[in-house]
Structure 1
Amino acid sequence: MNKTTKILIFGFLLWLVPFLVSVVIYPLKTSENPLFESIMPVVITLTVVLISIKYFTNLSTDFLREGILTGMVWFLINIILDLSLFMWGPMQMSFENYMMDIGLTYLIIPTVTIGFGYIIQNH
């Protein structure tokens, strides 16, 4: 599998896993919203760490560059897929509300990938 395909597939999986978890635990959104809001960043962080381990394992150079580029691509994939559901789907959220409620949480993704890239490159 070429690098671009791998980045896109991993980006989709990085969106899919937290999305499926959110569907399963969605009843907490109304009954225990603070718990829901605490669980989701943990799920995103765990998912990006595991996928980053898999992605960075096969690299041999340019780790920081890869961390920056991959993190930004994965961030954009998650935002674009989410917006297709939250702005035009059943939720009908405005872009501003989406970013305040969900979108900013995805900054975890480039934070982790850039951190991985930096640590590996400077180790």
Structure 2
Amino acid sequence: MIRGIRGAITVTSDSEHEILDATEELLIEIIKENQLDAEQVAQALITVTNDITSTFPAVALRRFPGWSYVPVTCAQEIPVAGSLPLCIRFLLTVNSDKKQADIKHIYLREAKKLRPDLSLTRESQSS
């Protein structure tokens, strides 16, 4: 089966260091919670809000062993008025035998506001 894994995280400022560290933090959680291996990942789409311009978050993925062959694209989110600022979002397309309901979508920091239904489910499962 092909599944999508979503995730998002926020940063407090548009700095290369913070963007790469936050991207790495999000990917670590996605990998851990979904027992994911790079060989399962068909592609990664990363979007950022228009206030993130210091670096490509995809650079952080290259720090992970085996992820250098995963196709990655970075794009800008639609700048909707009132949307969550300084946000990095992931959509990973993966090969998995898991049911859709068993995929763990990860929302960290202020990004928990984007999908409180999934964030609450995730938090209650890890308690």
Specify if TM > 0.5: no
Larger radius of gyration: 1
TM-score, normalised by the number of residues in structure 2:
0.34
- Higher RCO, Cα 8 Å, sep 6+: 2
Considering fraction of residues, name the structure with more strand. Answer: 2
